[in-house]
Structure formats: C-alpha cells, structure tokens
Amino acid sequence: MRYSGGHWYTPADGTLWKQLSEKADELVKAGITSVWLPPAYKGAGGGNDTGYGVYDLFDLGEFDQKGSVRTKYGTRHEYLHALKTALGAGLRVYADIVFNHKVGADRQEEFKDSQPLQSLESVVEPWFKPLAYALILPRRDGYPCVFAADYYGASYKDVGNDGNEHEINLHSHKWMIDNFLEVRRDHAWGEQYDYFDHPDCVGWTRTGDKEHPQGMAVLLNNGEDSKKHMETGKAGFTLRQKIIIYILPGILCEDIFWLLNR
C-alpha cells in the first residue's frame, strides 16, 4: 500500500520532510507500507519549485542557489532524517527523480499535472472518492496508492486557465481511507470473485485465507434498492455489516457496504 507523500500544491514552507518524520509511525499504523516522495533536489524555482523543473540534481537543500538553501520540502539533513525515520518505521521509500526537465534560469517549460488548476486538470469530485478508493484499496489487483491531498486535505491558490486566481480546498478523507486500509489489512485475502454485471450495482468478494479467515463482500450501489447474490467460497457463515458510508452530492446517493465474515 503506497502513500503519495506530496502534491503539486504542497506548501512551499520547507516542512514536508519534517512532516514525514513525524507521521511515519501513524502511516504504518494505518496500513501504509511504502511512501512516494517528490524530487528532493533543487529546482529552477528554488524554494518554491516542485522539483520537476530540474536545476541541480546534487543539491538536496544544502547550497545557496536559486535564492534558497532549502528546497520546497526542506533541507538535505531533514530529508536524510526523514528517510531514516521512514525506513526505521518499516516503510519502503520511492524517491522521485527527473533527468530531462533541466530548465535552469534561462528557459521555461510547462509541467503538467491533473490536480485542480494544473494544465491537465481532471477533477475527481468528493462524492466519488469513496467509490474510487473502494475500488482501489480492498481489491487484489494492482499496487494501490493513497494521494496525500485526499488523506490530509489541501488548500491553495493559483491562476487557472481563465487567467483568474482561484482558491482550492480539497477535503480530507482520512477517516474513510483509514477504515478502508483496516479492511484491506484484515480482510482482503484469498480468492476474489467479481460481480460487475449491473450498471448501478457492482460488487466482489474475498474468501480469506488460513491466516486471515474473515473474508469480505463489497457492494457499491448508486441506484434504487437492489440485491446481488455473490460467491463467498464458504458455506454456512454469517455476514455482518461493518461500515456504511452515505454520500449526498445533491442528486445521487451513493452507498458503500462492507460485509465481513464473523
């Protein structure tokens, strides 16, 4: 389970590495097993650069260049301490690095991101995020990732494509994600049976295994009351309702049901 440790609008206050050191144990307790970290070297924008406008790959926040000693995320010492702390807590660490965006001070290049107010903006509405994470976190396939701005929330301002400044507030979904991570850790084991056979009601089950005998059934519904018969791989067991989350985006009412074996 990977945690995306930063985002495009992470505050340029030089505290990200310190935050990782402080929250490493909390992330492990929540079920996170690895963290992705943004580029640690000095970018063309100095202390405000996200790291994708490469200036000096060897300056991790220790030289006075581009108007700053530290990078957007902190100093070299703080970075190395964060790595040591994260690894000591049991986290794997993925350090991002870009070799070919070397813009320096002489030219500019547009860097693209899908976060709100970025050039490839593709907004995931808050009401859909519980459904998205339900499809990401408890399933067997892929390498699931938690986005930092979804977990802790984010607030920032920037100029949009219309030339006007906008204020963006992304709500924290930490409570929801923590519940999903708990379910993943304790119940997302064994065989998986998929039931994506209806436009409004889909689901899947996990049978559990010898070490984790409590399987689960997941049902996502955005339509009228409905029912679905799903294979569990076991006979004669009882299901109990674990979590119900209601999302009211104005028109649609989305339900997420976690059903866990007793």
Domain ranges of the chain: 2-179, 190-261
Contact call for residues 69 and 127 (beta carbons, < 8 A):
no
Tell me the fold of 2-179. Answer: TIM Barrel (3.20.20)
Give the model's pLDDT for residue 110.
59
What pTM was computed for the model?
A: 0.59
> Tokens 């079920």 sit at which residue?
31
Digit-coded pLDDT (tens) for 188-229: 888 899 998 888 788 888 888 888 887 788 888 777 777 778
The 10 Å Cβ neighbour count of residue 236 is 4
Cα separation of 20 and 225, whole Å? 43
Do the domains spanning 2-179 and 190-261 agree at the CATH topology level?
Answer: no
Non-local CB neighbours of 169 within 8 Å, separated by 6+ positions: 153, 154, 155
Give, in degrees to the nearest 5, the angle at Cα 232 between 226 and 237.
95
DSSP string, the chain: -EEE---TT--SSS-HHHHHHHHHHHHHHHT--EEEE---SEETTBTT--SSSEEETT-SS-S-BTTBSS-SS--HHHHHHHHHHHHHTT-EEEE---SS-B-TTT--------STTSTT-----GGGHHHHHHHHSSSSSS--EEEHHHHH-EEEEEE-TTS-EEEEEEPP-HHHHHHHHHHHHHH--S-EEEE--SSSEEEEEE---SS----EEEEEE-SSS-------S-SS--EEEEEEEEE--SS--EEEEEEEE-
- Beta bridge partners, 54, equal 43, 102
Contact call for residues 249 and 222 (beta carbons, < 8 A):
no
Cα separation of 56 and 102, whole Å? 8
Please state which CATH number belongs to domain 190-261.
2.60.40
Give the model's pLDDT for residue 44.
87
List, for the chain, all residue ranges whose pLDDT scores fall below the cut of 50.
105-107, 109, 111-112, 240-257, 259-262
